[in-house]
Amino acid sequence: DAGVIQSPRHEVTEMGQEVTLRCKPISGHNSLFWYRQTMMRGLELLIYFNNNVPIDDSGMPEDRFSAKMPNASFSTLKIQPSEPRDSAVYFCASSLEASGRAGYNEQFFGPGTRLTVL
Amino acid sequence: SQQGEEDPQALSIQEGENATMNCSYKTSINNLQWYRQNSGRGLVHLILIRSNEREKHSGRLRVTLDTSKKSSSLLITASRAADTASYFCATVGYNSGGSNYKLTFGKGTLLTVNP
Protein backbone atom coordinates (compact mmCIF):
# COMPACT_ATOMS: atom_id res chain seq x y z
CA ASP A 1 0.00 0.00 0.00
CA ALA A 2 1.33 3.46 -0.89
CA GLY A 3 0.14 4.99 2.35
CA VAL A 4 -1.41 8.43 2.61
CA ILE A 5 -0.27 10.65 -0.24
CA GLN A 6 -0.05 14.41 0.05
CA SER A 7 0.83 17.02 -2.52
CA PRO A 8 2.63 19.25 -2.87
CA ARG A 9 5.35 18.43 -0.32
CA HIS A 10 6.47 22.02 -0.20
CA GLU A 11 4.61 25.19 -1.12
CA VAL A 12 5.92 28.72 -1.03
CA THR A 13 3.46 31.46 -1.85
CA GLU A 14 2.88 35.13 -1.30
CA MET A 15 0.38 36.61 1.07
CA GLY A 16 -3.05 36.91 -0.49
CA GLN A 17 -2.65 33.97 -2.84
CA GLU A 18 -4.90 30.92 -2.82
CA VAL A 19 -3.31 27.68 -1.65
CA THR A 20 -4.72 24.21 -2.25
CA LEU A 21 -3.35 21.17 -0.45
CA ARG A 22 -4.28 17.70 -1.62
CA CYS A 23 -4.58 14.33 0.05
CA LYS A 24 -5.25 10.78 -1.06
CA PRO A 25 -6.12 8.52 1.89
CA ILE A 26 -5.33 4.84 2.18
CA SER A 27 -7.73 2.79 0.10
CA GLY A 28 -10.50 1.33 2.24
CA HIS A 29 -10.21 3.90 5.01
CA ASN A 30 -13.40 5.80 5.70
CA SER A 31 -12.11 8.65 7.87
CA LEU A 32 -9.83 11.48 6.87
CA PHE A 33 -8.23 14.14 9.05
CA TRP A 34 -6.45 17.41 8.38
CA TYR A 35 -3.94 18.61 10.99
CA ARG A 36 -1.69 21.64 11.24
CA GLN A 37 1.62 21.57 13.08
CA THR A 38 3.55 24.60 14.31
CA MET A 39 6.21 25.05 16.93
CA MET A 40 3.98 27.34 18.96
CA ARG A 41 0.72 25.39 18.90
CA GLY A 42 1.86 21.84 18.26
CA LEU A 43 -0.39 19.51 16.29
CA GLU A 44 -3.95 20.76 15.87
CA LEU A 45 -6.89 18.92 14.34
CA LEU A 46 -8.53 21.17 11.76
CA ILE A 47 -11.31 18.99 10.40
CA TYR A 48 -12.26 15.39 9.97
CA PHE A 49 -14.48 13.55 7.55
CA ASN A 50 -16.25 10.23 7.94
CA ASN A 51 -17.58 8.57 4.80
CA ASN A 52 -16.81 11.82 2.91
CA VAL A 53 -19.00 13.90 5.24
CA PRO A 54 -17.44 16.60 7.45
CA ILE A 55 -18.11 15.58 11.04
CA ASP A 56 -16.21 18.16 13.06
CA ASP A 57 -14.73 21.35 11.63
CA SER A 58 -14.44 23.19 14.93
CA GLY A 59 -10.68 23.34 14.51
CA MET A 60 -10.76 25.28 11.27
CA PRO A 61 -9.22 28.63 12.20
CA GLU A 62 -11.46 30.95 10.20
CA ASP A 63 -13.45 31.38 7.03
CA ARG A 64 -10.31 31.58 4.94
CA PHE A 65 -9.94 27.82 5.41
CA SER A 66 -12.18 25.32 3.66
CA ALA A 67 -11.96 21.57 3.12
CA LYS A 68 -13.75 19.23 0.77
CA MET A 69 -13.90 15.50 0.24
CA PRO A 70 -15.71 14.88 -3.06
CA ASN A 71 -15.07 11.14 -2.96
CA ALA A 72 -13.49 8.47 -0.81
CA SER A 73 -10.07 8.82 -2.41
CA PHE A 74 -9.47 12.56 -2.47
CA SER A 75 -9.61 15.59 -0.21
CA THR A 76 -8.48 19.18 -0.46
CA LEU A 77 -7.71 21.87 2.08
CA LYS A 78 -7.89 25.37 0.66
CA ILE A 79 -6.69 28.63 2.15
CA GLN A 80 -7.93 31.80 0.48
CA PRO A 81 -6.45 34.32 0.95
CA SER A 82 -3.31 33.01 2.60
CA GLU A 83 -1.48 34.93 5.33
CA PRO A 84 2.04 34.56 6.79
CA ARG A 85 0.57 33.14 10.03
CA ASP A 86 -0.72 30.19 8.02
CA SER A 87 2.85 29.00 7.56
CA ALA A 88 3.02 25.51 9.02
CA VAL A 89 3.23 21.84 8.14
CA TYR A 90 -0.16 20.46 7.17
CA PHE A 91 -0.74 16.74 7.64
CA CYS A 92 -3.46 14.53 6.29
CA ALA A 93 -4.24 11.26 8.06
CA SER A 94 -6.70 8.46 7.44
CA SER A 95 -8.16 5.62 9.43
CA LEU A 96 -10.93 3.05 9.47
CA GLU A 97 -13.54 4.10 12.01
CA ALA A 98 -17.10 3.42 13.02
CA SER A 99 -19.58 5.95 11.68
CA GLY A 100 -19.10 9.44 13.13
CA ARG A 101 -16.16 8.48 15.29
CA ALA A 102 -12.56 9.63 15.16
CA GLY A 103 -9.58 8.32 17.03
CA TYR A 104 -11.01 4.98 18.05
CA ASN A 105 -8.40 3.32 15.90
CA GLU A 106 -4.90 4.22 14.81
CA GLN A 107 -4.40 6.92 12.25
CA PHE A 108 -1.98 6.77 9.34
CA PHE A 109 -0.30 10.04 8.52
CA GLY A 110 0.97 11.37 5.23
CA PRO A 111 4.38 13.02 4.89
CA GLY A 112 2.92 16.51 5.21
CA THR A 113 2.97 19.70 3.16
CA ARG A 114 5.28 22.42 4.39
CA LEU A 115 3.59 25.73 3.60
CA THR A 116 5.45 29.01 3.68
CA VAL A 117 3.50 32.21 3.12
CA LEU A 118 5.71 35.22 2.49
CA SER B 1 -9.30 20.47 27.39
CA GLN B 2 -8.34 16.81 27.43
CA GLN B 3 -5.04 17.50 25.69
CA GLY B 4 -2.22 15.30 26.88
CA GLU B 5 0.97 16.83 28.16
CA GLU B 6 4.22 14.95 27.76
CA ASP B 7 7.00 15.05 30.28
CA PRO B 8 9.86 15.70 29.92
CA GLN B 9 9.94 18.06 26.96
CA ALA B 10 13.37 16.76 26.00
CA LEU B 11 15.35 13.68 26.96
CA SER B 12 18.91 12.77 26.04
CA ILE B 13 20.30 9.30 26.76
CA GLN B 14 23.04 6.93 25.63
CA GLU B 15 22.44 4.03 23.30
CA GLY B 16 21.43 0.94 25.23
CA GLU B 17 19.75 2.84 28.05
CA ASN B 18 16.01 2.85 28.65
CA ALA B 19 13.91 5.92 27.93
CA THR B 20 10.73 6.75 29.81
CA MET B 21 8.27 9.41 28.73
CA ASN B 22 5.13 10.39 30.58
CA CYS B 23 1.80 11.79 29.51
CA SER B 24 -0.87 13.39 31.68
CA TYR B 25 -4.37 14.39 30.64
CA LYS B 26 -7.39 16.04 32.20
CA THR B 27 -10.68 14.40 31.23
CA SER B 28 -11.97 10.87 30.80
CA ILE B 29 -10.78 9.11 27.69
CA ASN B 30 -11.72 6.22 25.43
CA ASN B 31 -8.11 5.43 24.57
CA LEU B 32 -4.63 6.88 24.51
CA GLN B 33 -2.20 6.53 21.62
CA TRP B 34 1.52 7.11 21.24
CA TYR B 35 3.06 8.33 17.98
CA ARG B 36 6.62 8.93 16.83
CA GLN B 37 7.74 11.68 14.48
CA ASN B 38 11.16 11.75 12.90
CA SER B 39 12.43 15.18 11.93
CA GLY B 40 10.67 16.44 8.82
CA ARG B 41 8.43 13.41 8.53
CA GLY B 42 4.85 12.45 9.29
CA LEU B 43 3.71 10.79 12.49
CA VAL B 44 3.89 7.03 12.86
CA HIS B 45 1.51 5.18 15.15
CA LEU B 46 3.29 3.16 17.84
CA ILE B 47 0.71 1.75 20.20
CA LEU B 48 -2.89 2.22 21.33
CA ILE B 49 -4.11 1.44 24.83
CA ARG B 50 -7.80 1.49 25.69
CA SER B 51 -9.21 2.85 28.93
CA ASN B 52 -9.92 -0.64 30.28
CA GLU B 53 -6.32 -1.76 29.73
CA ARG B 54 -3.43 -1.13 32.09
CA GLU B 55 -0.39 -2.23 30.12
CA LYS B 56 0.57 -3.11 26.55
CA HIS B 57 3.76 -4.25 24.92
CA SER B 58 5.03 -4.02 21.38
CA GLY B 59 8.60 -5.10 20.75
CA ARG B 60 10.84 -2.81 22.81
CA LEU B 61 7.90 -0.58 23.73
CA ARG B 62 5.90 -0.81 26.92
CA VAL B 63 2.96 1.47 27.62
CA THR B 64 1.09 1.79 30.89
CA LEU B 65 -2.15 3.61 31.61
CA ASP B 66 -3.41 4.71 34.99
CA THR B 67 -6.88 6.18 34.53
CA SER B 68 -7.18 7.06 38.23
CA LYS B 69 -4.15 9.33 37.90
CA LYS B 70 -4.98 10.29 34.31
CA SER B 71 -1.49 9.42 33.20
CA SER B 72 0.38 7.13 30.84
CA SER B 73 4.01 6.24 30.33
CA LEU B 74 5.97 5.01 27.33
CA LEU B 75 9.09 2.97 27.99
CA ILE B 76 11.58 2.24 25.25
CA THR B 77 14.06 -0.42 26.32
CA ALA B 78 17.59 -0.86 25.00
CA SER B 79 17.39 2.36 23.01
CA ARG B 80 19.10 2.81 19.65
CA ALA B 81 20.27 5.88 17.79
CA ALA B 82 17.41 5.25 15.33
CA ASP B 83 14.94 5.86 18.17
CA THR B 84 15.88 9.55 18.08
CA ALA B 85 12.59 11.33 17.34
CA SER B 86 9.74 13.26 18.91
CA TYR B 87 7.17 11.17 20.74
CA PHE B 88 3.58 12.32 21.13
CA CYS B 89 0.73 11.05 23.20
CA ALA B 90 -2.76 11.54 21.85
CA THR B 91 -5.87 11.23 23.94
CA VAL B 92 -9.24 10.24 22.56
CA GLY B 93 -12.34 11.42 24.33
CA TYR B 94 -15.53 13.16 23.34
CA ASN B 95 -16.12 16.44 21.60
CA SER B 96 -18.28 19.18 23.10
CA GLY B 97 -21.42 17.49 21.80
CA GLY B 98 -20.55 14.31 23.64
CA SER B 99 -21.30 12.09 20.69
CA ASN B 100 -18.04 11.72 18.81
CA TYR B 101 -14.51 10.86 19.69
CA LYS B 102 -11.84 13.47 19.11
CA LEU B 103 -8.09 12.90 19.02
CA THR B 104 -5.93 15.62 20.58
CA PHE B 105 -2.14 15.60 20.70
CA GLY B 106 0.33 16.83 23.28
CA LYS B 107 3.37 18.93 22.44
CA GLY B 108 5.68 15.94 22.44
CA THR B 109 8.93 14.76 24.01
CA LEU B 110 12.10 15.11 21.95
CA LEU B 111 14.20 12.01 22.54
CA THR B 112 17.86 12.02 21.54
CA VAL B 113 19.75 8.74 21.70
CA ASN B 114 23.49 9.28 21.50
CA PRO B 115 25.61 6.53 19.91
The one-letter amino acid at A69: M
Q: Answer whether B48 sits within 8 Å of A105, measured CB to CB.
A: yes
Provide the pLDDT for residue B87. Answer: 97
Closest residue in B to A4 (Cα) is: B42
Q: Would the CB atoms of A111 and B45 count as touching at under 8 Å?
A: no
Identify the band that residue A56 occupies on the pLDDT scale cut at 50, 70 and 90: confident
Range from A73-77, B3-7, B93-97 carrying the lowest mean pLDDT: B93-97
pLDDT in tens, A60-101: 988 999 999 999 999 999 999 999 999 999 999 999 987 666
Percent of chain B whose predicted confidence (pLDDT) is above 70: 92
Determine contact, residues B18/B73, Cβ cutoff 8 Å. no
Q: Is the pLDDT of residue B3 over 80?
A: no
pLDDT category, A29, cuts 50, 70, 90? very high
For residue B15, the model assigns a pLDDT of: 97
Which residues 4-63 in chain A show a CB within 8 A of chain B? 4, 33, 42-43, 45, 55-56, 58
Give the mean pLDDT of chain A: 93
User: Which has the minimum average pLDDT: A110-114, B45-49, B72-76, B89-93?
Assistant: B89-93
Output the DSSP codes for A6-47. Answer: EE-SEEEE-TT--EEEEEEPPTT--EEEEEEEETTTEEEEEE
CB-nearest to A103 from B41, B88, B103 is B103
- The answer to whether the CB atoms of A102 and B101 lie below 8 A apart is yes
B102 at the A interface (CB within 8 A)?
yes
